[in-house]
């Protein structure tokens, strides 16, 4: 009985420690994580928070750590050893990268049924079939990072592990899917904005979200949700021949997915997006803190930032209202749509990348060039 009481106290203590980093690392499954993670896991996360690691990176690390601990318990009935031996890393690859056709004739191929069932019951496993190679590589990379933060060395660079991943991927080729089946190009964006035609708070907010996210270079949903008034700096109006000056605004992005806090990336808004943003701030009476916030049932504006997933939900809701298939669009479609639209309008790639803040020309080109490939000269040689 005393032992159970001590265990319960340890879980409660971890839950309280997770609470102290919830502002940076929001966790909806705090109690479950407190039971799943051990004291060293929580201390590692607290250390990473104190090191100033990016919010999105921390969320990914926490999510992957929770999955790895859950998988380790299900597969070995023990908590993860640190550092993990090479045999355990190879088991992880074998459980997640496997051939569905071979599985039909060999029940022992891939993830064992009891491990699969336990992870599915806990909510850690939702999709059916082998994992995407990118997901497996990311989890192994985060496993390696967490190992290094504990001051330990792992076998993550071993030839056997690299060979196992390479052979598994080659045996089961997968087509890489886009994060958004269709890009939110200018014509699609116009249809979404047409659904924001009233003076209601939600319409004013959603119009600002869509216009700011697109016009600022196709910002990621986390960047939109995390935008704060302190990042906005009014710029001198842009003079336009034969017309009134256009309002201009700078957005200081700070730390992003592809940059560090040491470099302050800046993007600019001009004209209608600035007007839409100002209209939302005025209507919601926001002059500091989070820019985009949830709106309650009775029109009450929350003091807390909108959740990144809500940005995705808003775009899908607007797509449905515009009589488009919401399954074909996601928030990432704003990012790909911006570069696709830039291509359609003949904007040079380097200029478009200045606004999208893509670091890799190859990655930006995947969006930028796709607009002209189907109808381009290279596809019509015969």
Task: Locate the domains of the chain by residue range.
Answer: 2-171, 186-377
Mean pLDDT lowest among 41-45, 104-108, 233-237, 282-286: 41-45
Most confident of 15-19, 67-71, 96-100: 67-71
Distance CA 355, CA 369 (A): 17
pLDDT of residue 2: 43
Q: For 266-284, what is the mean pLDDT? A: 94
> Closest by alpha carbon to 46, among 29, 28, 31, 65?
65
The model's pLDDT over 188-217, given as tens digits with 9 standing for 90+, comes to 999 999 999 988 999 999 999 999 999 998
- Residues 6+ away with beta carbon under 8 Å from 337: 183, 184, 185, 186, 188, 189, 214, 218
pLDDT at 370: 55
Helix, strand, coil % in the chain, rounded to nearest 5: 55, 10, 35
Q: What separation in angstroms does the CA of 26 have from each of 11, 20, 55, 58, 258? A: 18, 10, 9, 10, 21
Buried b (16+ CB within 10 A) or exposed e, 66-97: bbbbbbbbbbeeeebebbbeeebbbbbbebbb
**How far apart are alpha carbons 251 and 216 in whole angstroms?**
8
* Residue 358 contacts residue 364 (beta carbons within 8 Å): yes
Average pLDDT over residues 285-297: 92
Report the pLDDT value the prediction gives residue 4, as an integer from 0 to 100. 42
Pick from 164, 150, 146, 157: which is nearest to 92 by CA? 164
Please state the CATH superfamily assignment of the domain spanning residues 186-377 in this structure.
Answer: Intergrase catalytic core (1.10.443.10)
Q: What is the mean pLDDT of residues 258-287?
A: 84
Gap between the Cα atoms of 31 and 12, Å rounded: 8
Out of 169-178, 206-215, 227-236, 296-305, least confident range:
169-178
DSSP state of 174: -
Q: What gap in Å lies between CA 214 and CA 333, rounded to an integer?
A: 9
Q: What is the pLDDT of residues 162-181, one digit of tens each?
A: 898 888 877 665 555 555 56
Least confident piece of the model among 124-133, 137-146, 185-194: 124-133
- Computed on alpha carbons and rounded to an integer, the radius of gyration of the chain in Å comes to 24
Q: Please calculate the CA angle 121-136-174 and round it to the nearest 5 degrees.
A: 100
Asked whether the predicted pLDDT for residue 269 surpasses 50, the reply is yes
Q: Are strands 232-238 and 293-295 parallel, antiparallel or unpaired?
A: unpaired
E strand or H helix at 214:
helix 201-215
State yes or no: pLDDT of 232 exceeds 90: yes
User: Positive or negative, the Cα torsion across 247, 253, 259, 261?
Assistant: positive
């Amino acid at each position: 009985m005393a032992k159970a009481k001590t265990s319960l106290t340890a879980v409660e203590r971890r839950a309280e420690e997770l609470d102290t980093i919830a502002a940076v690392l929001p966790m909806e499954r705090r109690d479950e994580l407190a039971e799943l993670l051990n004291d060293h896991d929580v201390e590692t996360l607290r250390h990473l928070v104190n090191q100033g690691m990016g919010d999105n990176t921390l969320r990914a690390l926490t999510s992957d750590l929770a999955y790895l601990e859950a998988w380790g318990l299900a597969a070995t009935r023990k908590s993860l050893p640190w550092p993990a031996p090479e045999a355990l890393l190879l088991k992880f690859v074998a459980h997640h990268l496997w051939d569905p056709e071979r599985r039909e004739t060999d029940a022992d191929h891939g993830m064992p049924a009891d491990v699969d069932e336990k992870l599915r019951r806990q909510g850690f496993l939702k999709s059916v079939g082998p994992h995407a190679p990118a997901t497996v590589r990311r989890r192994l990379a985060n496993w390696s990072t967490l190992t290094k933060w504990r001051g330990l060395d792992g076998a993550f660079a071993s030839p056997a592990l690299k060979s196992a991943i390479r052979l598994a991927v080659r045996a089961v080729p997968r087509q890489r899917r886009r994060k958004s089946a269709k890009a939110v190009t200018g014509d699609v964006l116009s249809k979404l904005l047409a659904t924001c035609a009233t003076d209601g708070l939600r319409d004013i907010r959603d119009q600002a979200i869509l216009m700011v996210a697109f016009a600022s270079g196709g910002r990621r949903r986390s960047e939109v949700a995390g935008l704060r008034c302190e990042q906005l700096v009014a710029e001198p109006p842009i003079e336009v021949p034969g017309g009134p000056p256009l309002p201009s605004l700078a957005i200081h992005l700070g730390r992003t997915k592809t940059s560090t806090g040491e470099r302050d990336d800046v993007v600019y808004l001009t004209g209608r997006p600035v007007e839409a943003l100002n209209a939302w701030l005025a209507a919601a009476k926001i002059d500091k803190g989070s820019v985009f916030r949830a709106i309650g049932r009775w029109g009450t504006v929350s003091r807390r930032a909108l959740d990144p997933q809500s940005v995705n939900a808003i775009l899908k809701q607007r797509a449905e209202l515009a009589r488009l298939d919401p399954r074909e669009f996601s928030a990432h479609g704003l990012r790909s749509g911006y570069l696709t639209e830039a291509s359609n309008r003949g904007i040079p790639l380097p200029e478009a990348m200045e606004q999208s803040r893509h670091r890799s020309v190859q990655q930006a080109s995947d969006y930028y060039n796709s607009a002209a490939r189907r109808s381009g000269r290279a596809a019509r040689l015969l």
